[in-house]
């Protein structure tokens, strides 16, 4: 969830939809700029306080976006 004041990432396993604690989370924009990073909680949640401000890459109506990467292990 990306909001104007904060954002939230909830990490679960693909096979059983179980929460993943201590996963490394990073958020990048379309120009590969690192916007935020952190580690998930015991509930599989990582939150970012503040606006992410992704770069504008000029792809039309939806000019901004982010890539969320979660790694464990």
Does the pLDDT of residue 21 top 90, yes or no? yes
State the Cα–Cα distance between residues 68 and 54, nearest whole angstrom: 12
**How much is the CA Rg of the chain, to the nearest whole Å?**
13
**Phi-psi category of 15—alpha, beta or left, where left has phi over 0 and alpha has psi -120 to 50?**
alpha
- Per-residue pLDDT of 27-52, as tens digits, reads 998 889 999 999 999 999 999 998 88
What is residue 62's predicted lDDT score, i.e. its pLDDT?
65
More confident residue, 2 or 12: 12
- pLDDT bracket for residue 61 (50, 70, 90): low
């Amino acid at each position: 969830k990306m909001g104007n004041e904060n954002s939230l990432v909830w990490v679960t396993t693909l096979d059983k939809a179980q929460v993943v604690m201590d996963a490394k989370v990073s958020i990048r924009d379309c120009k590969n700029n690192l916007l935020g990073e952190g580690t998930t909680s015991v509930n599989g949640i990582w939150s970012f306080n503040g606006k992410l401000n992704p770069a504008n890459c000029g792809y039309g109506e939806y000019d901004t976006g982010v890539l969320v990467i979660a790694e464990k292990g």
